[in-house]
Amino acid sequence: MTYSEEFKELYWIDYQNGMQPIEIFKKYGFDPYALGARRRDNFTDRLKKQAAREDGFKDTRSKNIGRPSTKELSLEEQLERPKHKNEILQQENDFLKRVRFINRKQIAKQSKNKQ
């Protein structure tokens, strides 16, 4: 479940003012018992870490995708990467075409046998 930045900020303010997690979830229309104690506790722990971050409660998943490159690439290597990716995609397409062809062949064979 993903919570909005606004909810996280409101939750954090109430939590810092001494309100219990169960009460905060109830206040904002969530059923704390449906969430369970573990999920409530994990959410509170994550918020503590997020509150300490520079980005705060913003969703940073889109920025932190994949393992960062450890070296600078030459111009030749930068050009080679899309070519390699293109080759892989072409192989995937060829494979899917073969699978589709085999499926059509099997369906035709089954419908022929039923007649």
Percent of the chain with pLDDT over 90: 59
DSSP letters of 34-70?
A: HH-HHHHHHHHHHHHHHHHSSSTTS--TTTS-SPPPS
88-112: average pLDDT: 92
| pTM given for the model | 0.53
Neighbours of 57 (CB within 10 A): 19
Lowest mean pLDDT among 16-25, 61-70, 93-102: 61-70
User: What is the band of 110 on the pLDDT scale with cuts at 50, 70, 90?
Assistant: confident
Over the chain, what is the mean pLDDT?
A: 89
What is the per-residue pLDDT for 9?
92
More confident residue, 68 or 113: 113
State the Cα–Cα distance between residues 84 and 90, nearest whole angstrom: 10
pLDDT (tens digit per residue) in 45-80: 999 999 898 878 887 777 767 777 778 888 998 899
Q: Which position has the token pair 């030749």?
A: 76
Three-state SS at 96: helix
